[in-house]
Amino acid sequence: MLFAYALATGAVAAAGVYMMLERNVFRVVLGLALLATAANLVIFLAGRLGPVDPAIIQQGEAALADTAANPLPQALVLTAIVIGFALIALAAVLAYRTYGALGTLDGDEMTAAEADGSPFANPAGGKLADGEGRA
């Protein structure tokens, strides 16, 4: 059963990477969401799967029982979900604002910065500070 979970996690990660290689910015955001989900699944699968006792220390005990669930992966996944949601929300807002400003979500058509010229070009036409004259 663990192999099936690992295979599904790999498929989700592969789909996320494939979508991040697209030109459309919205698909890149969705690919980022899939990749974050795959990372959460990896962390979750690093803990034990199966029927285990809850991670509660019984009264009179000093530590968790050996059959108790490991609470650390669960806490890490909850934290990663919150951070991933914030990252996806930020990326979605940036994509929305980019569409509003440029009128496209295609990465190849986003050429507004190219009209300003190269950031390495010297406006006076002389040498740059490092001694190389790039144009």
pLDDT in tens, 87-129: 999 999 999 999 998 888 988 888 877 777 777 776 665 555 5
One-letter identity of residue 14: A
Residue 113 has which token pair? Answer: 């910065």
One-letter identity of residue 62: A
The model's confidence at residue 38, banded by pLDDT at 50, 70 and 90, is: very high
Domains of the chain, by residue range, sit at 2-50+70-105
Q: Tell me how far apart the alpha carbons of residues 34 and 100 are, in angstroms, rounded to a whole number.
A: 25
Most distant CA pair in the chain, distance: 79
Q: CA angle at residue 74 from 73 to 75, to 5 degrees?
A: 90
- Orientation of helix 25-46 relative to helix 71-102, angle to 10°: 180
44 vs 127, higher pLDDT: 44
Q: How confident is the model at residue 127, as a pLDDT?
A: 58
Q: How confident is the model at residue 60, as a pLDDT?
A: 87
CATH topology of domain 2-50+70-105: Helix Hairpins (1.10.287)
Q: Tell me how far apart the alpha carbons of residues 46 and 9 are, in angstroms, rounded to a whole number.
A: 12
Chain centroid, CA 82 distance in Å: 12
Q: For 49-74, how does the pLDDT look when each residue is reduced to its tens digit (9 = 90+)?
A: 777 778 788 888 888 887 887 888 88
pLDDT at 79 over 90: yes
